[in-house]
C-alpha cells in the first residue's frame, strides 16, 4: 500500500515521501484496511521496529489537521522525550507539539494549546484528577507499550486512565500499541478495538543459542571465531567485524558495568584513529557532566568503544551513551533490561548474557518470555542492517534445548490486570470520586466495570476490595458516605490532586499530629515511611551502623518498632537508611561520596531526592490544610532537597546556573544574597565560577556587565552538575 494512496492531506503524504517513506509495511497496511484513518479503535500487537509509531503518527495527523487534538501516552519520561523530539518534526505541517511530565498537582492548561501532547500515564492521570479542561477536547489517544497494564507498578494507572478517557470522550479514537502478547484478542475486545496482530518484521530476526562456539538457529548453524575465552566478547567482535553493533543485556548493574569494562581491550583494537578521536570527545563530555567514580569508569569504557547503561546513571550520561551508539561510535552497550523498555536503540546483534533474574521471593528465576521477546526485538536496524540476531548463551546441551523451548519456540505470556488489590485501587477510588466520575457506590462500580480487571475477572471480588478502600478513605476523613452518595472531603480532594497514595497522606497527617519536636530527621523519616518513597536496600554491613544511629536518635522518630519484629524492624531500618542519604544530600556531601557510602549511582541520588521533594511538598500542603505543625519546616526542607544544600544557600540557588557547589563557593567568599552579587565586580564573581556563568548570573539579576575572560577557566566549567529536575523515574 503506497503512502500516496492513503486518505490523508496532501501535505502529510509529501512529508513522508520526502522522508523516504513511500510504502507501508504489511501490518501498517492491515491497520489502514481495518479503519485506522477512519477513527476506529485499534490495537497493534506487532514486533519491535515493525512500524507501530508510524501508525500513531498517521492517526494523529489525520485527526489534528481536521481540528482535533491528540494525546500520546508513554510509560517512561525518557520515552516521552524521544517521542516529543520526533513529533516536533511535524512543525513544518503547522502542528504544535507539547510535552507534559512535570509536577503532578498542576493543571498544565497552557500545554493544551498544542495539537499533539506527549505525557506519561501518571501525568495523564494527574491531569484528569486536576480536571484539566483541554482533556475533553482530545480526539485521538495513543497508548504506547499498552502491554505494561500487566505491570504491578504502572499497570493500574494506565488501565484506569484509559477507562476515564474513554468515559470522558466516548467518540475518541483509541490506538493501543503493544508488544506481541498471548491474549492480544482479549485486550482488543476490552478496548472495542480492531486487532492487528503480526510477526512480520522489516528486518529478518534470527533467534538462537550460542553453545561451544556455534550459533544455533532454527534452521541453520554458524561458527563464531574464538579469539578470547569469553563467548560473549567473541560475539561482539564478530559483530563489529561485520560492520554491526551489539546490545548486551545483563541481570544487574554490577554485571552490566563489569562486562563493558571486560570488553574494552578487545573492542579498542578494532577502532580506527578517527573513531578513537570521536569517542574521546564523548568521554570528555561525560566527565564534564559528572565527577563520580562511575562516570570515570564509563568515560574510560567509551574511549575504547564500549559503554554501560542503567538507571544509576544520570539522564545526561544515558543520553550521551545513546547518542554515541546511534551515531555508530560506540560499538557495544552493556545494559540492564531498562533499555528494552521502549527506547528506540536497535543493534545488529542482541546478546542476552543472563536469562535469570534475582527475586527476593524466590531467588534466581528465568525472565518471562515477553521480556525476552522485548530484548530480542532490538536486534536488526530497519533499512540499515540486512538482518538481526538475538543470542542466548548455553553452557550445556541440556541448557541449549531448554532455551529453545522456553524462549525461542514459545509465545509470549498472557497479560493480566493488576488493579484488583487495595494497594492498587485505593488511590483510583479516591480520584474517581474526587473528580466526579462517580458520586455513589453504584456509579463507582459502574465505572470500575469498564476496567480491564472487570473485563478479565467479570467483577469477581472487586466489590469487596472497593468496600475495603471506601472504609479506609472514610476512616481517614477523605470521603464521606451515606446510602445515596459518595463525597470527597477537602482533605480527600487535596490528596487526589497532589497525586499521592491516600495511605501516604494518612501516615503524614498522623505523623505530624503525633510528633514532638520536628527535626530534619523527623520530617525526612516521615517522608521515607510512606509507600510512595522508594527505599534503599539494606546490606549486611549496614545493620550495625544504622541500628546504632537509631539508638542515638530514638527521640527524633515518631515510633521505633521492636527489633524482635524482624520484618517490620528491617523495613524501618531501610527507611532510616534512605533518610540518611537525604540528610547527607541536604548537607552538601559530594555526590561521589554518597555513591560510595551508599553503594548507589548518581541517578539513584537524584531519583530519591526527586521523590522526597515531592512528598515533602505534599507534607507542606497537608499541614497547611489540616492546620498542623510543620508546614514552615517542610516547605524549607522541600527547597533544600530540591537543591541539595543548606538553608543559607537557598536565595543564591534560586538563580539559574548556580548549583550547590557554585553557591557554596560564592557564599564562602561573602556573596550571600542577590544583593551581594548586585554589588560585586564581574572579575570577583568570574574568579569563583568562571566568566560564562558569571555573565549568566549578572543577566538574571538585571546587570548587563561584560565579563572579561580570565586564564584557565576550564576548572570552573567542570563544577559539580546541578541536580536534574524530575519527579519520578517512571
CB atoms within 10 A of CB 589: 15
Per DSSP bridges, beta strands 306-309 and 332-335 are: parallel
CB 686 within 8 A of CB 556: no
Residue 730 to residues 43, 119, 123, 579, Cα–Cα distance (Å): 23, 11, 10, 21
353: which 3 cell numbers? 548474557
3-state secondary structure of 291: coil
Give CATH for domain 3-197: 3.40.50.300
Q: Please give the Cα distance from 505 to 492 (Å, whole number).
A: 9
207: which 3 cell numbers? 533467534
CB 723 within 8 A of CB 591: no
Q: Please give the Cα distance from 67 to 89 (Å, whole number).
A: 19
Q: Please give the Cα distance from 143 to 118 (Å, whole number).
A: 10
At residue 481, what are phi and psi to the nearest 5 degrees?
A: -135, 135
- The DSSP output letter for 405 is I
Q: Please give the Cα distance from 184 to 541 (Å, whole number).
A: 47
Query: Could you write out the DSSP letters of every residue in 546-569?
Result: HHHHHHHTGGGSS----TTSHHHH
CB contact set of 460 (below 8 Å; sequence gap of 6+)? none
pLDDT in tens, 11-69: 999 999 999 999 999 999 999 999 999 999 999 999 988 899 999 999 999 999 999 99
Q: Please give the Cα distance from 332 to 219 (Å, whole number).
A: 27
Burial class (CB in 10 A: 0-12, 13-18, 19+), 183: middle
Low-confidence ranges of the chain (pLDDT < 70): 103-107, 339-343, 459, 704-730
CATH class of 422-497: mainly alpha
CB 399 within 8 A of CB 216: no
H or E segment at 73?
strand 70-74
CB atoms within 10 A of CB 105: 17
Residue 132 to residues 60, 100, 127, Cα–Cα distance (Å): 21, 12, 5
The reply to whether domains 3-197 and 204-408 share a CATH topology is yes
H or E segment at 488?
strand 485-488
Q: Please give the Cα distance from 315 to 724 (Å, whole number).
A: 8
Domain boundaries, the chain: 3-197, 204-408, 422-497, 502-644, 656-717
Q: Please give the Cα distance from 102 to 496 (Å, whole number).
A: 16
What pLDDT is stored for residue 724 in this prediction?
A: 41
304: which 3 cell numbers? 575504547
What pLDDT is stored for residue 730 in this prediction?
A: 35
pLDDT in tens, 211-232: 999 999 988 899 999 999 999 9
CATH label, 204-408, candidates 3.65.10.10, 3.40.50.300, 3.30.565.10, 3.40.50.720: 3.40.50.300
CB contact set of 620 (below 8 Å; sequence gap of 6+)? 631, 634, 635, 638
- The DSSP output letter for 154 is T
544: which 3 cell numbers? 550495625
Q: Please give the Cα distance from 697 to 705 (Å, whole number).
A: 10
Domain 502-644 has CATH 1.10.3380.30: yes
CB contact set of 389 (below 8 Å; sequence gap of 6+)? 205, 206, 207, 208, 215, 348, 349, 350, 379, 380
**Quick one: three-class SS letters along 675-721?**
HHHHCCCHHHHHHHHCHHHHHHHHHHCCCCCCCCCCCCCHHHHCCCC
3-state secondary structure of 217: strand
487: which 3 cell numbers? 463525597
Listed in sequence order, the DSSP H helices in 498-630 are: 502-514, 520-528, 542-552, 566-586, 591-598, 602-626
CB 682 within 8 A of CB 698: yes
Instruction: Give the 3-state secondary structure percentages of the chain, helix then strand then coil, rounded to 5.
Output: 50, 10, 35
For 528, how many CA atoms within 13 A lie in the half-sphere containing its CB? Answer: 26
Q: Please give the Cα distance from 343 to 596 (Å, whole number).
A: 29
Q: Please give the Cα distance from 285 to 106 (Å, whole number).
A: 34
Amino acid at each position: 500500500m503506497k503512502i500516496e494512496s492513503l486518505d490523508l492531506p496532501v501535505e502529510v503524504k509529501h512529508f513522508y515521501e520526502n522522508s523516504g517513506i513511500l510504502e507501508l509495511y504489511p501490518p501498517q497496511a492491515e491497520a489502514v484496511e481495518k479503519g485506522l484513518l477512519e477513527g476506529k479503535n485499534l490495537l497493534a500487537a506487532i514486533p519491535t521496529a515493525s512500524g507501530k509509531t508510524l501508525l500513531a503518527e498517521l492517526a494523529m495527523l489525520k485527526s489534528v489537521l481536521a481540528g482535533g487534538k491528540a494525546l500520546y501516552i508513554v510509560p517512561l519520561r525518557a520515552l516521552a522525550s524521544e517521542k516529543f523530539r520526533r513529533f516536533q518534526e511535524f512543525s513544518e505541517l503547522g502542528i504544535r507539539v507539547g510535552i507534559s511530565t512535570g509536577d503532578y498537582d498542576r493543571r498544565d492548561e497552557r500545554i493544551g494549546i498544542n495539537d499533539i501532547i506527549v505525557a506519561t500515564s501518571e501525568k495523564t492521570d494527574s491531569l484528569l484528577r486536576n480536571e484539566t479542561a483541554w482533556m475533553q477536547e482530545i480526539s485521538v489517544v495513543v497508548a504506547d507499550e499498552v502491554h505494561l497494564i500487566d505491570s504491578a507498578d504502572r499497570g493500574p494507572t494506565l488501565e484506569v486512565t484509559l477507562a476515564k478517557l474513554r468515559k470522558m470522550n466516548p467518540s475518541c479514537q483509541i490506538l493501543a500499541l503493544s508488544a506481541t502478547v498471548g491474549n492480544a484478542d482479549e485486550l482488543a475486545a476490552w478496548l472495542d478495538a480492531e486487532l492487528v496482530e503480526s510477526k512480520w518484521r522489516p528486518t529478518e530476526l534470527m533467534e538462537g543459542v550460542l553453545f561451544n562456539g556455534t550459533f544455533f538457529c532454527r534452521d541453520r548453524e554458524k561458527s563464531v571465531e574464538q579469539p578470547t575465552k569469553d563467548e560473549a566478547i567473541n560475539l561482539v567482535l564478530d559483530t563489529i567485524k561485520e560492520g554491526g553493533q551489539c546490545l548486551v543485556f545483563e541481570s544487574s548493574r554490577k554485571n552490566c558495568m563489569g562486562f563493558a569494562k571486560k570488553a574494552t581491550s578487545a573492542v579498542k583494537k578494532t577502532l580506527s584513529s578517527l573513531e578513537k578521536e570521536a569517542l574521546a570527545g564523548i568521554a570528555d563530555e561525560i566527565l564534564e557532566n559528572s565527577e563520580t567514580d562511575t562516570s570515570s569508569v564509563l568515560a574510560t569504557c567509551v574511549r575504547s568503544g564500549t559503554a554501560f547503561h542503567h538507571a544509576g546513571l544520570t539522564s545526561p550520561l544515558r543520553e550521551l551513551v545513546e547518542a554515541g551508539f546511534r551515531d555508530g561510535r560506540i560499538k557495544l552497550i552493556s545494559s540492564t533490561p531498562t533499555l528494552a523498555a521502549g527506547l528506540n536503540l536497535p543493534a545488529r546483534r542482541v546478546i542476552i548474557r543472563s536469562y535469570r533474574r534475582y527475586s527476593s521471593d524466590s531467588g534466581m528465576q528465568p525472565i518471562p518470555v515477553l521480556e525476552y521477546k522485548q530484548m530480542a526485538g532490538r536486534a536488526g536496524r530497519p533499512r540499515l542492517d540486512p538482518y538481526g540476531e538475538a543470542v542466548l548463551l548455553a553452557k550445556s546441551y541440556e541448557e541449549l534445548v531448554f532455551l529453545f523451548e522456553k524462549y525461542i519456540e514459545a509465545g509470549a505470556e498472557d497479560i493480566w490486570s493488576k488493579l484488583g488489590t487495595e494497594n492498587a485501587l485505593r488511590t483510583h477510588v479516591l480520584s474517581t470520586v474526587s473528580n466526579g466520575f462517580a458520586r455513589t457506590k453504584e456509579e463507582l462500580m459502574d465505572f470500575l466495570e469498564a476496567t480491564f480487571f472487570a473485563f478479565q475477572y467479570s467483577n469477581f471480588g472487586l466489590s469487596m476490595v472497593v468496600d475495603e478502600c471506601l472504609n479506609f478513605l472514610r476512616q481517614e476523613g477523605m470521603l464521606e458516605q451515606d446510602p445515596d452518595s459518595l463525597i470527597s472531603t477537602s482533605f480527600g480532594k487535596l490528596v487526589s490532586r497532589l497525586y499521592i497514595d491516600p495511605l501516604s497522606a494518612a501516615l503524614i497527617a498522623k505523623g505530624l499530629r503525633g510528633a514532638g519536636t520536628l527535626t530534619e530527621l523527623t520530617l525526612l523519616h516521615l517522608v521515607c515511611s510512606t509507600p510512595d518513597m522508594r527505599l534503599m536496600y539494606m546490606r549486611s554491613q549496614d545493620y550495625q551502623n544504622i541500628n546504632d544511629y537509631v539508638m542515638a536518635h530514638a527521640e527524633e522518630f515518631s515510633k521505633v518498632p521492636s527489633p524482635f519484629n524482624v520484618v517490620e524492624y528491617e523495613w524501618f531500618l531501610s527507611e532510616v537508611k534512605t533518610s540518611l542519604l537525604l540528610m547527607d544530600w541536604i548537607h552538601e556531601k559530594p555526590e561521589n561520596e554518597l555513591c560510595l557510602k551508599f553503594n548507589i549511582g548518581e541517578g539513584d541520588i537524584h531519583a530519591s531526592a526527586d521523590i522526597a521533594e515531592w512528598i515533602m511538598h505534599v507534607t507542606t500542603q497537608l499541614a497547611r490544610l489540616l492546620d498542623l505543625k510543620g508546614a514552615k519546616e517542610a516547605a524549607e526542607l522541600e527547597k533544600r532537597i530540591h537543591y541539595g544544600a543548606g538553608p543559607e544557600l537557598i536565595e543564591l540557588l534560586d538563580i539559574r546556573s548556580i548549583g550547590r557547589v557554585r553557591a557554596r563557593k560564592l557564599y564562602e567568599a561573602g556573596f550571600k544574597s542577590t544583593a551581594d552579587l548586585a554589588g560585586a565586580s564581574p572579575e570577583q564573581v568570574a574568579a569563583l565560577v568562571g566568566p560564562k556563568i558569571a555573565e549568566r548570573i549578572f543577566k538574571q539579576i538585571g546587570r548587563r556587565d561584560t565579563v572579561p575572560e580570565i586564564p584557565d577557566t576550564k576548572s570552573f566549567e567542570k563544577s559539580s552538575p546541578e541536580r536534574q529536575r524530575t519527579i519520578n523515574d517512571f
